[in-house]
Amino acid sequence: MIDAVVFDLDGVLIQTEELWDEVRSGLARERGARYDAEAQRAMMGMSSLEWSQYMHDELGVPETPDEISDEVVRRMEERYRDRLPLIDGARDAVERLAARWPLGLASSSNRPLIDAVLELAGLAQLFAATVSSEEVPRGKPAPDVYLEAAARLGVDRARCAAIEDSHSGIRSAKAAGMRVIAVPNPSFPPGEEALAEADVVLDSLAELRPEVVDPDAK
């Protein structure tokens, strides 16, 4: 029996993996630092504390990790306020599940970006708890952000379902002991080994319905 549902944000509700890549690569290249496909893959799912440190230590961006994170967040929020890249069907999917369960959100995005997206999308009131991985010790694929979301919802983690799109995210939610519904990101699809860990794999958010989240739902 499922008592709550926890959504990922990037790649599930908003199409931003390309935007994150564009903003971080742009900053790195402006600073004369290295950036390539390996760097993009490495940072997927990392918390802001982790990817900003990576950009400083591994890519050679000269600013401090805090300065790197602040500048990337500033550029991302500017893009969101210009045009929010909400995925087709995201609002309907959230509203469908919110009518049945309390919702949480477990995201690798920074807190200001989470709050901006939910405000701009008109969805903030539908989420009872939201967690950024910068608020927990470890980012995805560690389970910390999902465990914290369950704790803030006051629900046993084993009675939560997670909606995920990425390799690291699926592994994170599964490690937390949740039922995992995967909606793979077509631009950055999860590996077969991660998909094999998902309990359900959907083609789109249009298929995300209460009976899929919990076959025992009435």
191 has a pLDDT exceeding 90: no
Buried b (16+ CB within 10 A) or exposed e, 172-206: bbbbbbbbbbbbbbeebebeeebeeebbbebeebe
The CA distance from 106 to 170, in Å, is: 12
Helix spans in 45-143 (H): 48-57, 65-82, 90-98, 111-121
The CA distance from 42 to 191, in Å, is: 14
Q: What is the mean pLDDT of residues 109-125?
A: 96
Query: What is the per-residue pLDDT for 46?
Result: 84
Q: Which of 3, 8, 21, 165 is catalytic?
A: 8
Q: Which of 63, 116, 35, 30 is nearest to 52 (CA)?
A: 63
Q: Give tens-digit pLDDT for 59-102.
A: 999 999 999 999 999 999 999 999 999 999 999 999 999 999 99
- What domains are defined for the chain? 4-15+85-213 (3.40.50.1000), 17-82 (1.10.150.240)
Q: Clarify whether 8 is annotated catalytic.
A: yes
Q: Clarify whether 156 is annotated catalytic.
A: no
Q: Give tens-digit pLDDT for 105-116.
A: 999 999 999 999
Q: Which of 3, 10, 57, 199 is catalytic?
A: 10
218 has a pLDDT exceeding 70: no
